[in-house]
Structure 1
């Protein structure tokens, strides 16, 4: 099926906007409220409407058609391409007027002067009926014009001689299936009926097909919003962080005879209703590694088919992570992931499920969306449970849920247990769960098939130890004629026995032992070291700390504090954060790092983590790594992150005793994590590199501001020098706008001229109080206008996409400071009347 023409892409977005605008202006259009007493507050509802209108206009802008249209030569008659461009501009113009009207209504509603029950009535509090009628007619006229222009464009695509080619509109081809399918049907009808754009009846017939395009566009936009709300950036990071398992280490899991009556393969094919399998074991025994090995493993499916029969199957899962973000360790994050993965697989996978399943599962949100553009707020637990139940209620399908690390939950575990056990009571659902053998899980799963992993891992640990020693040239450096291998076997067997099935103990102890070996050591010396290793995991970790050199402890302690202050950071920013000079970024030039510089930094960090921090922190790649690479590309390093090698390590580091030791090693008062991270984020901002003409600048810029505010809150001193350098860096990036950078991911609205625009929008009060005195009046005026425009566009939650979890940034953004507003307005005036009161503020301290 051919890809959708750019003309279809543009028209679909514009027509959806026209349809939405016309609908909310109808006299009979009701405002849908989910439940009695839970309706959206009127002012917020109008903000949602304004936000949706803005987003729909931005959707048109994404196609960048204006430039392409201006570059094309016009003929005697305006072709379909130019007409579509003109109509899209007209649509935006009409929409902006509508936005102004609803913004005024919102302000009036906030004062308590207006009462209304429909959006039409809300608009009539600031418009008269004549204005509203005129507006409706303009929208209706635009709809008809789009019908004609789109027919001409499609006609040209099948018969290029009839008009100028309307398919060349400077766009990348879309991958959206529904537009391609609509286009295919529309072209068939045009060819069969020989519709012509000059024939009124033909256009009216074609308009019925356009109605279908509008509906599918609206449905697709709703699906996108739901998927965006379900998905979160760190969703799969835990899965990716687990080392790829050795295929041979877990082959025993498929041996039913070896495992006995409650074997995993037998459970997969069981049809008697035993729908839960519990994988348990000691901390660090490799439960997550085995779950990663099993997750979407092709060897699962033959066993599962004994249970599922001819029914289509969906495999979805989640790897919980207590060392991660809030969503990675809560029931809400669990359910969001399961729903997202299952729906994506059902709609876009081999099942080719009707995409309207999203509307059925989230019916309340769909009604809000079609009513006023709502239904895109954050999910709560109750709503997610209802949607999950609806998903699983389709008994024509079989579901396998794989949940790793249920003990990693940071909220009440009964929430997740209730959901999962309830799901397993359905005949069409199986649930495989891994967790530590905590009391609550033992009580819940005692009657279900289970496997205690640490009883099965001894052969795998033996393989690991032998491989690690084989890769190290200094181990057992004894001539063969002087040893019969007995002593060496003793060392290996002692390590395996002491591990007691705990892979983490084996890996940490083996690597620690290897690093301690010298060329002059004999086997007897190595035996003594092995015998000295404590057999309990926590005791081993303490032993490792006690035997680290002072420099190693200091370096490791700093890393622990930096990682704790930043969840789990990306590799390259952490490379900058360990720089002892917290002002190094201020002197650095603004340019991308060379390949050699990037690789050198990454290698230095790897060596620190291995030899200084003793593998207690590890590097992982936050993207799928199933395919083997011939070499590591520099671009891939952007996906590398650093976190604790295991939760056990993090938990020990956070004990009072270890925190005291770490604070002593780093100097509690002297080592301020935010100073190091502020330096790292400015390094990131200065070394950004555009890709495909786009510069992803916002996160680095916002992180710089967030950490400047954190430091300011500690001592009430504005980081003026630092923020001035952020300002200068942004200015250098803005200079490149056009070549090689064509777009930045800055907040939508007016064009950013300088950091001052961002500062006014975010309410950086103390910084602005200092800078306003020397600022140009025109720059202040632009900053004020920019801030108003962006806040209007991002009303009703849109700012969350930019502020995120940055607590200090959110705090200042939400703070209303009338004195600052007055000060800014005062300094924008070109002239002041004699005797005008001077607006002043106390000058904050700064460094």
Structure 2
């Protein structure tokens, strides 16, 4: 991937060689600016340095040549310059070897300047001038090639550097790279050196080599960081978080106001964000809106402002993970949790990668697009190293939703969370249903927890009022009959803080309004609605027509056990398989026209609604361009009534 960067290493090696060799042949040689060496060491040192520089030319040149795609004209020209310099280097080394024989013990009476004079006097004047001429030619050609390499937008180097910068922006990696700055500095250094081209022993030319090497190292650093981050990413990493609906406007604002709930308690969440430590637990009934709240908290401006105060004077890193019992393995496992959090931490602080993931950093093969999968143990070790970084000034807050949807024992995930906060620079906000294990682990710290349903009464009232208020029929009826206003309060009272129940009730009432139901029928809808989600599921199952009962049970099993949401087209194929058990083996393998795919997908959406009523929802995946089937509520599979139906099947 980064072989074009090798061209910069070649340019840097050629610059160093030309600069060194030119000064070696100069009458007033100044090979070293500071300090001095014993006379009898100098000739040996010069020989070693020139051998190293000549060897570097061979190494970087061969590395570039081995790249099958290295057919860029500028890279080819640089390899040729490296070859010419290698020829010159061999001649100079041979001559230095002669001097060592002529001066036993490597002792010259007048130091470094004597080496230069000895080289010049041991050759004919024409030979010295010929080498100087060749060095000058290499230098002039090098200036042209470096400028073309840096400024030609179609060169492999420029394409690669542009891709690196684009990936930084696309993936929101906080790499404070110097690529643009170094490219400008190289161009300036070349132009400055060209204006002083007759001063072969000046420092302007040497600056070019140093800048080229800096740019090469920076390019490799950025590419290595991106490769490690890509290895942590997985396809469904944000699927669950993206699927959660946004909070209704102006709801959940109390969480930052420090006001009292219906039981007189204060959440003290803002206080914890600013100065708290450890784990803050958001407890809530099934369907109370925990995931919606956690999604809001992750990037809310009030969250960020408070956490930045906590992190001062260091940087702040925020990461999140949403467990999903209906998702694939990575969406409900410790592996998925740790891999997602680590990716976000390192994306925010990529300079930590060499220290946190040393084996990944040192073992990077930048010519491979795919890295080895991460192991659970490797992820744990990375977090352990992060916790032990005493010099780290950054602080991190992790938001982890749905501990009750973790696929394993509760005590296991509790242990993992406690392991993540061994450093005072890390704290966690986690949410779950009030299961005994979580109550025991987090419930005792009353100043670092709240029960969501105790604080959402006003939110539910706002949601009901505004949602029903958007219906013109409701507005008209409410203006002439105060009973409709009372209906809102009755919904709030019956909700018991369960937002999902409220959503379902309001949807039923909106259907009633479309049928021009009067207040009596609206109340019958409300009071006839199941008082809990288990009962609602049971009622929905009872309303499914007998001809769909068996098929709906199969569909629920598929949806709940699928590793990721399936398309409506997938359910069409499953239906064909149920009708004809040999369908998968007998059907022709052929491309289905787009028009047919669209028609089948839409027909299946209607059919799935008939089979499963309102318990499934079909959403549009804009990226994949298909309709995906999800449970209306992610935790539906946990309902006792659903488990009963599944067991019967």
Q: State the TM-score, normalized to the length of structure 1.
A: 0.52
1:75-114 correspondence to structure 2 within 5 Å: 80=74, 83=77
Q: CA separation of 1:467/1:371 partners in 2, compared to 1, >3 Å: closer, same or farther?
A: closer
Tell me, yes or no, if structure 1 residue 506 matches structure 2 residue 511: no
State the match for 2:460 in structure 1: 461
Q: CA separation of 1:334/1:346 partners in 2, compared to 1, >3 Å: closer, same or farther?
A: same
Q: CA separation of 1:546/1:472 partners in 2, compared to 1, >3 Å: closer, same or farther?
A: farther
Q: What do the CA deviations read for 1:319-374 (whole angstroms, capped 9, x no partner)?
A: 12111111111122111111111211224xxxxxxx3x211111233344489999
State the match for 1:155 in structure 2: 147
Q: CA separation of 1:404/1:527 partners in 2, compared to 1, >3 Å: closer, same or farther?
A: same
State the match for 1:440 in structure 2: 437
Could you tell me which of 267, 284, 293 is aligned with 2:287? 284
CA distance in structure 2 between the aligned counterparts of 1:85 and 1:229, rounded to whole angstroms:
33
SS at match of 2:625: helix
Higher RCO (CA 8 Å, separation ≥ 6 residues): 2
Q: CA separation of 1:660/1:432 partners in 2, compared to 1, >3 Å: closer, same or farther?
A: closer
Could you tell me which of 334, 339, 344 is aligned with 2:337? 334
SS at match of 1:249: coil
1:307-706 correspondence to structure 2 within 5 Å: 307-347=310-350, 355=351, 357-369=352-364, 376-392=371-387, 393=389, 394-448=391-445, 449-470=448-469, 484-486=481-483, 488-489=484-485, 491-512=487-508, 514-515=510-511, 519=515, 522-550=518-546, 553=549, 556-557=552-553, 559-564=555-560, 566-569=562-565, 571=567, 573-574=569-570, 576-577=572-573, 580=576, 590=591, 593=594, 613-620=612-619, 636=623, 638=625, 641-652=628-639, 655=642, 657-659=644-646
Q: What do the CA deviations read for 1:161-213 (whole angstroms, capped 9, x no partner)?
A: xxxx85444885434355545534433433333399xx999999866665555
1:569/1:642 contact within 8 Å kept = yes
Q: State the TM-score, normalized to the length of structure 2.
A: 0.66
The alpha carbon displacement at 1:612 in A equals 5.4
The alpha carbon displacement at 1:263 in A equals 1.6
1:570/1:642 contact within 8 Å kept = yes
2:549/2:611 contact within 8 Å kept = yes
1:405/1:435 contact within 8 Å kept = yes
Q: CA separation of 1:80/1:147 partners in 2, compared to 1, >3 Å: closer, same or farther?
A: farther
1:327/1:333 contact within 8 Å kept = yes
Q: What do the CA deviations read for 1:503-561 (whole angstroms, capped 9, x no partner)?
A: 11222343345557883755434433432333122122111211233466566445424
CA distance in structure 1 between the aligned counterparts of 2:74 and 2:201, rounded to whole angstroms:
17
CA distance in structure 2 between the aligned counterparts of 1:578 and 1:462, rounded to whole angstroms:
43
Q: CA separation of 1:312/1:220 partners in 2, compared to 1, >3 Å: closer, same or farther?
A: closer
The alpha carbon displacement at 1:658 in A equals 1.4
The alpha carbon displacement at 1:567 in A equals 2.8
2:321/2:401 contact within 8 Å kept = yes
Q: CA separation of 1:150/1:282 partners in 2, compared to 1, >3 Å: closer, same or farther?
A: farther
CA distance in structure 2 between the aligned counterparts of 1:562 and 1:10, rounded to whole angstroms:
47
CA distance in structure 1 between the aligned counterparts of 2:142 and 2:408, rounded to whole angstroms:
53
Higher helix share: 2
The alpha carbon displacement at 1:502 in A equals 0.8
Q: What do the CA deviations read for 1:427-469 (whole angstroms, capped 9, x no partner)?
A: 3333211111111111111233111001122222233334444
SS at match of 2:614: coil
Max Rg structure: 2
CA distance in structure 2 between the aligned counterparts of 1:300 and 1:329, rounded to whole angstroms:
26
SS at match of 2:338: helix
What is the aligned length?
A: 512
Q: What do the CA deviations read for 1:117-157 (whole angstroms, capped 9, x no partner)?
A: xxxxxxxxxxxxxxxxxxxxxxxxxxxxx999986432336
1:618/1:643 contact within 8 Å kept = yes
